[in-house]
Amino acid sequence: MLSKKEIYKQAYTELSQRRLKRQLKKDIHLKHAVSVCPEIGELCSKLGKTSIKLSKSLLYNSDYRLKILNRISCENIKIQNEINKLLIKNHLPRDFLFPKAECEKCDDYGFVGHEKCSCLIKLIKSIITEE
Ligand SMILES: [Zn+2]
């Protein structure tokens, strides 16, 4: 019989594999999208740079930070819209670069805030019954 700790360990491993699988799918999709339309790659790296700007904005005081956050958010929306247009133009689905999590409530992390997500509870139950 598995201990509570082992059951949780198995459940967290499963959730971590789901996230890894999604990341791999995302990487493969990005490679494909860039091969069909290199501009998508440029836009995605621009998106990556905005996340660096986001972390830098934490260094500023709250008023200035808010201004920066608004600007970055507008910039992000603009870039994402351009990416979406290019995806559609190249006959790729809109969610192609952002594959959905198996559980959209917790994004495959097992928690919604501090509460256990229903998918984690289900996973734990299935591990217990499999024993
Ligand atoms: Zn969940």
Question: Tens digits of per-residue pLDDT, 38-77?
Answer: 999 999 999 989 888 888 888 888 888 888 889 999 999 9
CB 68 within 8 A of CB 60: yes
What's the CA gap between 24 and 16, in Å, rounded?
Answer: 12
Domain boundaries, the chain: 4-130
Going from the Cα of 103 to the center of ligand 1, the distance in angstroms, rounded, reads 5
Going from the Cα of 12 to the center of ligand 1, the distance in angstroms, rounded, reads 11
Going from the Cα of 129 to the center of ligand 1, the distance in angstroms, rounded, reads 19
69-115 pLDDT, tens digit each: 899 999 999 999 999 999 999 999 989 998 999 999 999 999 999 99
pTM above 0.85, yes or no: no
CB 84 within 8 A of CB 94: yes
Long-range residue pairs from 81-85, CB within 8 A, at least 24 positions apart, any chain: 82/43, 83/40, 83/43, 83/44, 83/47
Going from the Cα of 4 to the center of ligand 1, the distance in angstroms, rounded, reads 19
- For the chain, the first-to-last Cα distance in angstroms comes to 7
Going from the Cα of 46 to the center of ligand 1, the distance in angstroms, rounded, reads 30
